[in-house]
Amino acid sequence: QQQVKQSPQSLIVQKGGISIINCAYENTAFDYFPWYQQFPGKGPALLIAIRPDVSEKKEGRFTISFNKSAKQFSLHIMDSQPGDSATYFCAARVGNNDMRFGAGTRLTVKP
Amino acid sequence: DVKVTQSSRYLVKRTGEKVFLECVQDMDHENMFWYRQDPGLGLRLIYFSYDVKMKEKGDIPEGYSVSREKKERFSLILESASTNQTSMYLCASSPGGYEQFFGPGTRLTVL
């Protein structure tokens, strides 16, 4: 079963709007929470990541919000652009090499 | 820039064939991974390797084996391909336990 539950499966946002993707987990041993971005025909690439001792991390238009008590984290994309259209995966790491991925969210930003 | 290359972008094989998927990374990373990506299921780990000739099973190793004879090369082998192994296969490498660098993927169809 999915150890990291991601929603929604797909998301359509107007250009300039805010895109929000949510993830939830159960395993409190997870210690690193990355988001990956995947364009068609490409492999996923790291977008932004957070550790559980921080509640928020911002890089440009991308922000991760992390709620340790609720065991949830989310990706916010401000001022969404058509070039942001891609599939986004949240993930969580336990142990040195054990990365668990969410099911993915296909984001479409309409011009 | 880290480069992870996969031997084929598209592959069509017949049921029962032995299939080799090759992955090469050029950054001297210790860790290498094979995932399969299916819609609605995200990325699921098949096998990973943390050193030459060392390997560990992931979540879905059944029907697969791997080989790592050189640090830069990690091969995924389907001993006897079946139609339920039709999928996108992604290779990744990592210098430690955090960011993983992905190849472009091999879309395998088993007829």
B82 DSSP 8-state letter: -
Is the pLDDT reported for residue A32 higher than 90?
yes
Residue B81's pLDDT is what?
A: 97
What's the mean pLDDT when you consider all of chain B?
94
Is the pLDDT reported for residue B1 higher than 80?
no
- Kindly give, in sequence order, each residue whose CB lies less than 8 Å from that of residue A69, ignoring residues fewer than 6 positions away: none
Residues from chain B that touch A6, judged by Cβ atoms under 8 A, are 42
Residue A4's pLDDT is what?
A: 94
Segment A96-100 shows an average pLDDT of 83
Tokens describing residue A20: 């929000």
pLDDT in tens, B51-72: 998 999 999 999 999 999 999 9
pLDDT in tens, A46-66: 999 999 899 999 999 999 999
Tell whether A32 is within 8 A of chain B (Cβ).
Answer: yes
The alpha-carbon gap from A78 to the nearest alpha carbon of chain B, in Å, equals 24
Residue B89's pLDDT is what?
A: 98
The verdict on a CB contact (< 8 Å) between A97 and B50 is yes
| From A32, A44, A95, residue closest to B102, measured CB to CB | A44
The verdict on a CB contact (< 8 Å) between B42 and A32 is no
The verdict on a CB contact (< 8 Å) between A96 and B41 is no
Tell whether A9 is within 8 A of chain B (Cβ).
Answer: yes
pLDDT > 70: what percent of chain B?
98
- Minimum CA–CA partner of A43 in chain B: B104
DSSP characters for A32-87? BEEEEEE-TTS--EEEEEE-TT-SEEEETTEEEEEETTTTEEEEEESS--GGG-EE
Is the pLDDT reported for residue B37 higher than 80?
yes
Alpha helices in chain B (DSSP H): none
**Are B85 and B110 contacting, i.e. CB atoms less than 8 angstroms apart?**
yes
- Minimum CA–CA partner of A97 in chain B: B97
- Ramachandran region, residue A76 (left: φ > 0; alpha: ψ -120 to 50; beta: rest): beta
CA B87 from centre of chain:
11
Is the pLDDT reported for residue B110 higher than 70?
yes
CA B67 from centre of chain:
10
| From A43, A95, A102, residue closest to B42, measured CB to CB | A102
Residue B72's pLDDT is what?
A: 96
For the beta carbon of residue B54, count every other beta carbon within 10 angstroms. 11
pLDDT in tens, A78-90: 999 999 999 999 9
Segment B34-61 shows an average pLDDT of 93
Task: Name the band, by pLDDT with cuts 50, 70 and 90, for residue B2.
Answer: low
Task: Name the band, by pLDDT with cuts 50, 70 and 90, for residue A1.
Answer: low
What's the mean pLDDT when you consider all of chain A?
94
Tell whether B51 is within 8 A of chain A (Cβ).
Answer: no
Residue A96's pLDDT is what?
A: 72
Is the pLDDT reported for residue B107 higher than 70?
yes
The C-alpha angle A90, A38, B4, rounded to 5 degrees, equals 105
Residues from chain A that touch B41, judged by Cβ atoms under 8 A, are 2, 103
DSSP characters for B25-43? ESS--SEEEEEEEETTTEE
The Cα–Cα gap between B99 and B91 comes to 13
Task: Name the band, by pLDDT with cuts 50, 70 and 90, for residue B109.
Answer: very high
Length of chain B: 111
